Chain A
Amino acid sequence: MATTTEPVVVRSAKSGAEPLLVIRNVAKSFGKNPVLRDISLQIAEGEFLTILGESGSGKTTLLRIIAGFESANSGEILMEGERLDLLPPYRRRVNTVFQHYALFPHLTVEENVGYGLRVAHAPKDDTATRVSEALAMVKMTAFASSKPGKISGGQQQRIALARALVNRPRLLLLDEPLSALDANLRRQMQVELKSLQREVGISFVFVTHDQEEAMVMSDRIALLRMGELEQVASPREIYSHPTTAYTAQFIGHTNLLRGEIKSGIAQCHSLSWRIGLPAGPALFSLRPENIRIVTSATGSSDINVVTFSGKIQHQAFHGATELLQIVCDDGLVLSVRTATRENRQGDLHLEFSPADAVPVRESPERG
């Protein structure tokens, strides 16, 4: 069937370059319990890729397979064209920032950071220089001789980062490194981490369950659902063009409209618009901010807008914006995000562009 499909967006820092890491058909199960099924993914040089998913989606397992702490049941992983998955973890040019930092409690901050260089028998002077550079990079020079038990969580976080980066890995893996920090520090670290990544130019694979964090930091997001990749795209792409209902709901907030397409017209409840898709049942994602409140019913025959009216059922104040639950005249309930305004009452006239109602696939049941 010749339909236009979404263009596959592969962003790469060096366009045309070979991908740094290629994950090919990786599958893993624990006992009879499949955790990852047929994962294929590429990571470009200098890219910040986030593996996003709920708990139990298999994201940490995928990270541990790349690091070498778990082995895949099938598939292969290549780094710069060579098999990575056959090497033990201590031979991989990959370093990890662990979820709970995993700093060595019996070593000082400095010794922790220098650990990788010391086990590699790097020259002493060189080690000292690189360790102090790494500590300066994360602004922890003053704590060089402290033990990890004596510094705060945020500081431990920085040391874990310095300890990994000082080895100049080809790829840095981060396993929910910010999840133990409180909200403010977390936002600050997101910005720091992102700018640090740009500075050092190392590819980052960042695992998180927090979609906002993924949006803020990533070049691309790989959304994992029950062991399978749901969608891999840039934050903008994945937000504005989710391919499945699950993606649309997991990334941001959305309205899912169930309807039918008949001879070029999409019909959802009483709403209808022109569409260039074949006939059949359909599902659309319509972001709350893409529905506009207009002053009067234009009754327009403009085919580029869908107009309707409804009443406010519920109103949630979010500061600059508010989220309204609108009951349309035909009983359909929609979320609408608008700039905050007081005294909104009575019937509202609303509209949206058909282009904003993104057709999405039903996410199949898995288990």
Chain B
Amino acid sequence: MFSRAYRAAITLPPLLWVAVFLLVPYALLLCYSFWSVSPAQTIIHAWTFDNYRELFRVNVYLQTLFRSMWIAARVMIFSLLLGYPLAYYLSFYAGARKDLFYQLVIIPLWVSYLVRAYAWKTILGSDGVLNTLLQYVHLTKHPLEFLLYSPFAVVLTLTHIYTPFAVLPIYAALEHIPRNLVEASHDLGGSPLQTFWRVIFPLSIPGVLAGATFAFVLSLGDFLASLLLGGPSGIMISNIVVSLFGAAYNWPLGAAISLCMLLLVVSLLFLSEKLEKKWSFR
């Protein structure tokens, strides 16, 4: 048996860490969301529901939240559409090149987010690579303006950034499918297409759910892509939170929005975990 002192000594650091860096900040956030700001820009420490009322009264907050969700949903769909075939190829057909391709999926994750966002800026801008090319081959006469500073640019960039997050769990799920199940399906007369839809895809659903959750949740909270490439029509909810905590100096409203987002994300994670359990058989 370990002594009480020893047990205390090894459990205390993680407990402290969680308390100081997680519980206390969340508690503060919660408190702030029920406080308010005076006209003189000081925090009034009196309880009020005003921030939450404001959130549902002023259209721009909910509209931006819905736009963010719509952007996140598109990123999720495109990440899955791109990521699933890639993961499927990796797992079933890459053979000896599996490790190489796997590394190629991982490597972009090592490149700074900012670099990748700026790269898209260079590609999509009015003097950018894409517009120059389109005009060079005379497909367009003028630069296409919708390419940059638009929700399109945000969705494109976020899809590029978060597709690996969708690929990895799908790949892991596919790798876990015993290959003799595929053989069994063929043996019983299932064509490759039937085998995919009746055996491989259902068994990969937990990975798809995990990948979808990653892509959606990470995109929903993103503010850099929209800041750099979004323009006025591509503003996301996190940009509002950033400005509320910054220039606008309205921490209480910022806290209220943050908590609503947190609640949304936690319920999504909970839901996706429930669904993943329902679809896993081991």
Contact = CB atoms under 8 A, between A and B. Distances in A.
A190 B129 CA distance: 71
Contact of A95 (B178, B180, B187): B187
Nearest to B178: A102
Contact of B191 (A90, A105, A116, A167): A90
Contact of A102 (B184, B191, B202, B282): B184
22 contacts: A67-B183, A69-B186, A69-B187, A90-B185, A90-B186, A90-B187, A90-B188, A90-B190, A96-B183, A96-B187, A102-B183, A104-B181, A104-B184, A104-B185, A106-B279, A119-B185, A119-B189, A119-B198, A149-B282, A163-B188, A164-B187, A164-B188
Contact of A68 (B186, B190, B198): B186
A34 interface: no
A149 B183 contact: no
Contact of B189 (A69, A90, A98, A149): A90
A18 to B, nearest CB: 25
Interface of A: 67-69, 88-91, 94-96, 98, 100, 102-106, 115-116, 119-120, 147, 149, 163-164, 167
B93 interface: no
Nearest to B183: A69
A177 to B, nearest CB: 13
A282 B119 CA distance: 83
B184 A96 contact: yes
A312 B165 CA distance: 73
Given A90-B190, A167-B189, A98 B203 contact: no
Interface of B is mostly: helix
Contacts of A104: 181, 184-185, 199
B189 A116 contact: yes
B183 A116 contact: no
B281 interface: yes
A120 B183 contact: no
Interface string B184-213: 111111111010001100110000000000
A167 B184 CA distance: 13
A149 B281 contact: yes
B209 to A, nearest CB: 14
A102 B199 CA distance: 12
Given A90-B191, A102-B184, A163-B188, 5 more contacts: A89-B186, A90-B186, A98-B183, A100-B178, A120-B189
Contacts of A120: 189
A119 B190 contact: yes
B143 to A, nearest CB: 51
B194 A102 contact: no
Interface in B150-189: 178, 180-181, 183-189
Given A105-B203, A120-B189, A167-B189, A98 B184 contact: yes
Contacts of B187: 67-69, 89-90, 94-96, 164
Which 7 pairs between the two chains have the least Cβ-Cβ distance? A105-B281, A116-B188, A102-B184, A102-B180, A89-B186, A119-B190, A90-B186
A167 B188 contact: yes
Contact of A119 (B183, B194, B202, B203): B194
A147 B278 CA distance: 13
A105 B189 contact: no
Interface in B253-282: 279, 281-282
Contact of A88 (B186, B194, B199): B186
Contacts of A88: 186
Contacts of A98: 180, 183-184
Contacts of B188: 90, 95, 115-116, 119, 163-164, 167
A118 to B, nearest CB: 8
Contacts of B181: 102, 104-105
Given A98-B184, A102-B180, A147-B281, A115 B202 contact: no
Contacts of A106: 202-203, 279, 281
Contacts of A89: 183, 186-187
Contacts of B192: 90
A105 B282 contact: yes
